[in-house]
Each structure stands twice: as C-alpha cells, then as structure tokens.
Chain A
C-alpha cells in the first residue's frame, strides 16, 4: 500500500521558505496571494494489504523520523487504490 505523510511547520512557526515563495509569487503578478507555507510530502510504499497496519506504520515513521514534533505537524493518508501512477495530482 502507499502511505502519504504530509509534514507542515506548525502554525505560528516562522517559515522563511514560504515567505520567499510568497514574495516570488507577488513579483509574478499574483497579487491575491496572502500567505504561503512550504511543507514536505513523503510517499512511502509499505508491503501490506492491511490499511490499518499501513496507516499505523506511517504514523510511527512520522512521529519518529519524518517530522520533528517541536516545530512540525504531520498527517498520514492512504493513497486510494487505483490512483494514477505518480501519486496525487
């Protein structure tokens, strides 16, 4: 199964990358952009057909390594079966 782990800086934590991207978007003319937060997405293949086990494994990996709980929040999702190769679009 494919587990997606989405990691974002916690609300309120300064995001210099997001700010720089927002500035760049403004320069490109996207005046309506009011904020950008940059995050990370991990696509993890797990050898199991059990959605519960896959999600649990993803939660553990996120808590231990993929996210730093001091500054980041994470969300673990299962990629829907039959989704196009290459993941979410």
Chain B
C-alpha cells in the first residue's frame, strides 16, 4: 500500500471493456488518483490501493458475460490482491466477471424483461461494511444509470440466506422515495439486489454505474459518493 498521498488505482482493461476511461476519469477527478490502466494479459497491478474492473462487453460477452474474462492472466493478480484484503470494485461487466471468477457469490441471468435496460435507477445503501459505503448512511438513496442486458443477479437460496445473515447485500433497487416495489428493479434480480460484497467486505460488485454519475454535467454526482467513501476509509486506515 502506498502512503496517504494520492491513491493508486489500477483499472483493468479487457478486450471489449468500454467504461475503462470513464472509471479512470472518475478516479482522477474524485480521488485525485494516480491511475494505471492494466491490460488483461498483464500480471503486474503495481501495488494499487484500489482495483476497478470496469463495464463493457469483455470478450464480446460470448458464452456468458464474464465467463472468458475470468481466465485472463490479470485475474490471477486480482484474485491474489483481493485475497490479501485489497479493495476491488466491479462495475456492471466487472461485477459479472467477479461472479464468474468466484470472487463474489451468485451468477447473472438475462434480464427478466429480456431487454437491454439503459436508464437511471435508484439504489438504497443496505450495508456500511465496505470501503465504498463506509462513509455513506445506511438507507441513503443514490441515483445513477444502469446499462445492461444481463444483470439479473441470482444465487441459490441457501447461499443468499447466508449472505443476508452476513450483511453482504450492499445495494438494493428502490423507488425514488427509498421504498421497494413495482418499477424499481430494472432486471428482475433476486430480492432487488443491485450490489453485493464478499464475506470480508473488500470486494464489491454492482450493476449500476457510479463512474457515470460523478459530474453534474453528466446528470448527477451520487456515484462520486462511493469513491469519496473509499477515500475517507483509506485516510482513516492511514491515520491521517
């Protein structure tokens, strides 16, 4: 880990990633981060504070979203980094890859409506135990866009019950007033789940795009709160 100076962020670039530059821009603007783009066929992450798996269509989403990306050389380094407790954020396709790699539980199905859904959604913060939500209040409602055809997250009932018991549900789709129900969930995911974390809380995946909601000009800044929370967590860890 680097000092409390500007954080180092590694953004992984797979063939078919298309939100990598957006993620890098958010990291630079919100975190004042030193950003390194890491190719799928590289091994060295260069000692980052945070690894972002960005959105897109890695390997054309052939077979299943994320199914082939998980076997990229870089994923060995991501798994090792996560295993040491390093912070990993998977956005959209990045979330799908983390599930396929077994770094997060569950799997993705086609959207319940079978359509690619591209619109703003509302998320409710359900857990503060991750670096990306530690500085946000539980119950806060954030607005950011989704853009996916395969975001219908599911898990075996027994696995899901364990996750709930361990506080691994990080975000749920809600209506603008924070209530759950009709119209909130864009893809039919189990129990309106929009984002989850691993048991330790350092690996987080979500379908919505926080990196696309970091500037007023782009329609909102709620996504920046995840990155700001990460910065706050990191400062606390370094005692400054």
Q: Which segment of B17-25, B121-129, B148-156, B197-205 sits at the interface?
A: B148-156
User: B111 to chain A: which residues have CB within 8 Å?
Assistant: 16
User: B188 to chain A: which residues have CB within 8 Å?
Assistant: 14, 16
Tell me, yes or no, whether B49 is within 8 Å of chain A by CB: no
Tell me, yes or no, whether A41 is within 8 Å of chain B by CB: no
For chain B, the count of residues having a C-beta within 8 Å of the partner chain is 21
The contact string, 1 if C-beta is below 8 Å from chain A, for chain B 96-133, is: 00011000011101111110000000000000000000
Tell me, yes or no, whether B79 is within 8 Å of chain A by CB: no
A68 touches B67 (CB 8 A): yes
Known A-B contacts: A14-B188, A17-B110, A17-B114. Give 11 more (CB < 8 A).
Answer: A13-B109, A14-B112, A14-B152, A15-B109, A16-B112, A16-B152, A20-B114, A65-B68, A66-B63, A68-B100, A70-B155
B-side interface mostly: loop
Tell me which residues from 49 to 85 in chain A have a Cβ below 8 Å from any Cβ of chain B.
Answer: 65-66, 68, 70-71
| Chain B residues in the interface with A (C-beta under 8 A) | 63-64, 67-68, 71, 99-100, 105-107, 109-114, 152, 154-156, 188
User: B64 to chain A: which residues have CB within 8 Å?
Assistant: 68
